[in-house]
Amino acid sequence: MKLVPRYTDITENFAIEDFPASVAFPQLLLWNESLAKEFNINVAADLRASTFSGNEKQAIPAVALGYSGHQFGHFSPRLGDGRAHLLGAINDDKNQLWDIQLKGSGATPYSRGGDGRCALGPAIREYVMSEAMHALGIKTTRCLAVVGSGETVYRNPPQAGAIVTRLATSHIRVGSFQYLATQGDVEGLKNLADLAIERHYPEITDTGSQRYLAFLGAVIKNQVKLVVSWMRVGFIHGVMNTDNTLVSGETIDYGPCAMMNSFDFDTVFSSIDKQGRYAFGNQPNIANWNCARLAESLIPLISDDDEQAVSLMTPYINSFAEQFNTEFTAMWAQKLGLNESCNSSGELIAELLTLLKDNQLDYTNTFDALTESLKEEVVIIPESLIEWRAKWVSLTDDNSYEVMRTANPRVIPRNHVIEEIIAQYNATGSSELLQRFIKIASNPYSDSEKLSEFQATPINENDYQTFCGT
């Protein structure tokens, strides 16, 4: 496993060298064999637990990255990797660089008194959710391994500890730019922006201020696409802080995330989101807000005159809503197999969403049933949709089924399934349910004899909550 540079050249104290802390009894609990092959990670089986727990020291130290963050709207100027160590970057089979990071690997200079550890439950959640999201076709960080630490993590209640090995095309966050902007480090800002462009947006060849305006525009475009893809499958991030927003447009941090069952734009599961700031339907607004915070951080790279810089960037921020509405409308058209130019589609979609909410219909299963009803004669459609379906079918064509089948998953990582997998790991250190689920979830748009097991919805999820793993 050949590792390459790790952000140490950005500016002083942006990437602080630090070794992971060793653990008592590392045990490999999950290993992503297909991902290992994709990256040509040839770590011997008997060394995987020690290597990906942090017990095997690398030739060069790992680093902890600094970043700031607006957490539920409140700014924290110094956060950083408080329980993660970035080992370096590796190339995939397409020569794309990916950061490889240990999460839960012990305290760092950014830990602020924390133990730097991760509990087993959140580690399992990250593995299952990130791999399910990847299979759903959504840009995401990936998970290579989960290693049990053999130690207790003192949370409430005390839990078994674990270390996650996470891969991302970079760990450059909106909060990374905020961190350097807060310090007035213009040279560091420029270095970071240039690195982000090099790794994620090499098509940007502009110079001067236009280079960084183009970068802002590219980030906005990717954030729009990401949030629309979340909403297509009913994903609720739960903690869309600026430190959890990657400029690459990948999903990161699966702590309090959840999947929506019954359709409702106001759905919230996170125990710490008391005001619904990150509710399902509010995710576009927050993504826009986060992009505005990135723009603020880039001001020194745009102009020495703050007012002029704001004037130049404002059209980019204002374009978010228009871009989102275009992508959002196209997404609903795909989910219903309709031509975007259809004059009746907007009214039809609005009527459907009202019916879904008023009748507490399952989001995933309803769209799956509608999709299959174009192909199969006997498909159970909720009675409340019969009249609506007649109007909808009259607007579909011969291509509608294929379009809908690629947009509407048959299986998602249901909350109760994730919780049962975590419970099995906590009880026995393994999960037979996970083995069955991963096989089905790896092809979430396809039919399967065992599909129904993972389409079932809980009787009542009103009291279900997710929690931050910190």
Q: Show which residues are catalytic.
A: 243
Give the dihedral sign, CA 44/50/51/57.
negative
Helices (H) and strands (E) in the chain, counts: 14, 12
Cα–Cα distance measured from residue 336 to residue 138, given in angstroms and rounded to the nearest whole number: 19
Residue 63: beta bridge partners? 17, 86
| 303 Cβ neighbours under 8 A, 6+ residues apart | 209, 309, 312
**Cβ count near 194 (within 10 Å):** 16
Q: Which amino acid, one-letter code, is at 45?
A: A
Taking a C-beta distance cutoff of 8 angstroms, is the pair 102, 83 a contact?
no
Cα–Cα distance measured from residue 174 to residue 250, given in angstroms and rounded to the nearest whole number: 12
Taking a C-beta distance cutoff of 8 angstroms, is the pair 142, 131 a contact?
yes
Q: Rounded to the nearest 10 degrees, what angle do helices 306-335 and 283-302 cross at? A: 150
Residue 16: beta bridge partners? 64
| CA 30 to chain centroid | 20
DSSP single-letter state for residue 116: -
Please give the structure tokens belonging to residue 349: 């979609």
